């Protein structure tokens, strides 16, 4: 090894000596301390941002799950209404929701430990199979009845979906950092907050679904169920989604409730075996609408959910107007027969028709030459009345909520109508706002001094609602007479059936002068045999037939509970009647 020179030794010592600190250099103790402080602040900022991001993801995922569930709660009710009606479908609904929420929230740990899959991974599977399960359960509706059918159906569809969703939300919320809250608030906040988000989504979606239902295939009942199932799938993708294929294939090719041309064709193929044909169907804001024709019996009807809005005979030679299959609708036309002091010729008279149906009564008023205004809230009802039931074109159509329209018209142009026909019914019970004291007062204001109003109401004589409505009507119109569609049944029949359900028509005037009918002429019947037989009221109801006492009050805008609390019984009775009018396959197949 070569010896190190003196110069190399000096260089070596120079390398071993620590570098001197230049007072002008940036590497000073102060700058070092400043850098440490900046690094500390940066670390704190990054930690705070990460915490916010993580907590935001927790809140976002929980809110998304609860929002989907809130929408699904409403869609479940919509899916049941064509088979059970809107009111029977709601009887058990809140109980199912509460039970599912309790089981899901309290049992999330149990599900986490015992289910073969993670809870949230099961949501797409359950949601995808719901339309198929509903399809087969609807075929058992006759045996299940309107009382138990909705409970059984939602217990096997909505209940597991809500249970698993709530359990998934509880799992997600375990990652919440609520250390800044008192213990009692930290314990209560997740539960109360989740309930608030769910109820907000439920209420908001109810309004939106009502106004947009049926505008496209994805906004139909089954379409919405598929969209929501797809949303669950996006939120919880996994290899287990392969198991949803059978359910999707069934819904696409076998579920006739899906509003596609192929499904409608398949439905008509099965209905054709019973000599029935589905002419058209649509989902609209008042319910599932369809027009069906019986080739064997020779009539066609318009359906709304589990109710019939009217029908006409097709095998008879059509006179001036069609022959209706329901007598009560022709009885309303007897408003023209009520004697008044200053009778107005039909050519100069004006009529207001609240509620259209297939257009039986307004068609007759138009045929008599009366200037007729029709107020109907559902545009599909109006479209089908024109397209399939021959509603004449020479009338004024108002597609609007009757409460809003009459309140405005009563202020703008009062006392303009000689006749008012009030005929509204859907979902197994009458729309309560159209029987309140305030609404009837608006109709009173629109009626001329010598005018006559006819009001149709379907109810059970054994229950308070019918008597309550009659009392409210008489509070506004001092002179009235009430007629049933059918003769009063015997006491034995009432006890056997447990009800006395019938349509009644109330004829009233705004003065105290008694109601009396003139003799009907041939021209009053418009060459219609049904009108000749049923238009003149025959089965008058005495005052003693109505209930009295504390249970019978007045129906006001802010006091509708007198009708609401009995709507369940009325709707269940109506459901049973409808099952005797048309075959069960018609109701179950949509």
Does residue 301 sit in helix, strand or coil? strand
Query: Cα separations (Å) of 53 from 58, 188, 259?
Result: 9, 23, 42
- Estimate the crossing angle of helix 93-106 against helix 141-156, to 10 degrees: 30
Residue with tokens 């819904």: 251
pLDDT of residue 39: 63
Enumerate residues 6+ apart whose C-beta is below 8 A from 36: none
- Which of 510, 475, 350 shows the shortest CA–CA distance to 416? 350
For 101, list phi and psi in degrees, rounded to 5. -65, -40
β-pair type (299-304, 287-294): antiparallel
For 484, list phi and psi in degrees, rounded to 5. -85, 160
Give the Cα separation of 366 and 407 in Å (integer).
Answer: 24
As a residue count, the chain comes to 590
Strand partners, 452: 419, 509
pLDDT of residue 426: 63
The answer to whether 421 and 394 are in contact (CB under 8 A) is: no
pLDDT of residue 26: 54
pLDDT of residue 42: 61
pLDDT of residue 537: 95
The answer to whether 476 and 441 are in contact (CB under 8 A) is: yes
pLDDT of residue 5: 43
Burial (Cβ within 10 Å: 0-12, 13-18, ≥19) of residue 8: exposed
How many CB atoms sit inside 10 A of residue 52's CB? 10
pLDDT of residue 570: 81
The answer to whether 428 and 563 are in contact (CB under 8 A) is: no
pLDDT of residue 43: 60
pLDDT of residue 2: 43
pLDDT of residue 14: 46
pLDDT of residue 45: 62
- Which of 256, 257, 299, 309 shows the shortest CA–CA distance to 277? 299
pLDDT of residue 8: 45
Tens-level pLDDT at each residue, the chain (590 residues): 444 444 444 444 444 455 554 555 555 777 766 666 766 666 656 677 887 888 889 899 999 999 999 999 999 999 999 999 999 999 999 999 999 999 999 998 898 888 888 999 999 999 999 999 999 999 999 999 999 999 999 999 999 999 999 999 999 998 888 888 888 888 888 999 999 999 999 999 998 898 889 999 999 999 999 999 999 999 999 999 999 999 999 999 999 999 999 999 999 999 998 899 999 999 999 999 999 999 999 999 999 999 999 999 998 877 789 999 987 789 999 999 999 998 999 999 999 999 999 999 999 999 999 999 999 999 999 999 999 999 999 999 999 999 999 999 999 999 999 999 999 976 566 788 999 999 999 999 999 999 999 999 988 898 888 999 999 999 999 999 999 998 999 989 988 888 888 889 999 999 999 999 999 999 999 999 999 999 999 999 999 999 888 778 899 988 888 788 788 888 888 898 899 999 998 999 88
Give the Cα separation of 164 and 100 in Å (integer).
Answer: 9
Strand partners, 385: none
Give the Cα separation of 439 and 181 in Å (integer).
Answer: 51
pLDDT of residue 437: 96
């Amino acid at each position: 090894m070569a010896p190190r020179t003196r110069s190399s030794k000096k260089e070596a010592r120079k390398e071993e000596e620590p570098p001197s600190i230049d007072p002008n250099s940036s590497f000073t103790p102060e700058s070092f301390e400043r850098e440490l402080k900046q690094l500390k602040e940066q670390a704190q900022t990054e930690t705070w941002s990460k915490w916010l991001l993580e907590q935001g993801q927790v809140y976002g995922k929980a809110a998304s799950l609860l929002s989907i569930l809130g929408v699904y709660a409403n869609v479940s009710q919509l899916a049941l209404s064509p088979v059970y009606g809107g009111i029977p479908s709601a009887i058990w609904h809140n109980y199912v929701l509460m039970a599912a929420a309790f089981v899901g929230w309290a049992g999330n740990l149990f599900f986490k430990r015992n289910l073969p899959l993670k809870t949230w991974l099961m949501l797409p599977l359950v949601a995808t199979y719901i339309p198929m399960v509903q399809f087969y359960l609807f075929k058992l509706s006759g045996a299940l009845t309107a009382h138990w059918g909705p409970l059984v159906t939602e217990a096997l569809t909505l209940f597991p979906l809500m249970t698993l969703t709530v359990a998934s939300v509880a799992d997600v919320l375990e990652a919440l950092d609520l250390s800044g809250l008192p213990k009692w608030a930290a314990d209560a906040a997740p539960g109360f907050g989740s309930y608030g988000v769910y109820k907000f989504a439920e209420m908001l979606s109810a309004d939106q679904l009502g106004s947009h239902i049926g505008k496209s295939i994805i906004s139909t009942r089954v379409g919405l169920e598929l969209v929501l199932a797809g949303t669950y799938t996006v939120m919880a993708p996994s290899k287990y989604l392969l198991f949803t294929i059978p359910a999707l294939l069934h819904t696409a090719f076998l579920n006739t409730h899906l509003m596609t041309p192929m499904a409608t064709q398949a439905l008509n193929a099965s209905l054709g075996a019973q000599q029935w044909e589905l002419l058209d169907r649509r989902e609209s804001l008042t319910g599932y609408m369809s027009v069906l024709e019986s080739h064997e019996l020779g009539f066609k009807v318009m359906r709304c959910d589990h109710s019939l809005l009217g029908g006409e005979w097709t095998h008879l030679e059509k006179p001036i107007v069609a022959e209706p299959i329901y007598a009560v609708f022709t009885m309303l036309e007897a408003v023209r027969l009520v004697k008044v002091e200053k009778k107005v010729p039909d050519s100069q008279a004006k009529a207001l028709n609240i509620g259209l149906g297939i257009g039986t009564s307004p068609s007759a008023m138009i045929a008599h030459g009366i200037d007729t205004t029709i107020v109907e809230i559902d545009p599909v009802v109006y479209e089908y009345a024109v397209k399939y039931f021959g509603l004449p074109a020479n009338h004024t159509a108002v597609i609007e909520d009757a409460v809003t329209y009459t309140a405005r018209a009563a202020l703008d142009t009062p006392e303009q109508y000689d006749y008012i026909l009030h005929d509204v019914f859907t979902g197994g019970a009458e729309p309560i706002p159209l029987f309140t004291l305030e609404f009837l007062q608006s109709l009173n204001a629109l009626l001329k001094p010598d005018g006559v109003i006819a009001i149709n109401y379907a109810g059970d004589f054994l229950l308070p609602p019918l008597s309550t409505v009659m009392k409210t009507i008489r509070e506004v119109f001092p002179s009235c007479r009430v007629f049933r569609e059918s003769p009063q049944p015997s006491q034995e029949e009432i006890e056997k059936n447990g009800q006395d359900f019938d349509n009644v028509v109330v004829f009233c005037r705004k003065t105290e002068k008694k109601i009396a009918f003139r003799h009907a002429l041939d021209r009053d019947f418009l060459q219609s045999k049904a009108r000749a037989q049923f238009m003149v009221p025959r089965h008058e109801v005495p005052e003693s037939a109505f209930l009295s006492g504390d249970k019978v009050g007045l129906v006001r805008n802010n006091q509708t509970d007198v009708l609401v609390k009995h709507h369940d019984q009325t709707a269940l009775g109506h459901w049973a009647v409808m099952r005797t009018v048309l075959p069960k396959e018609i109701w179950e197949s949509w």
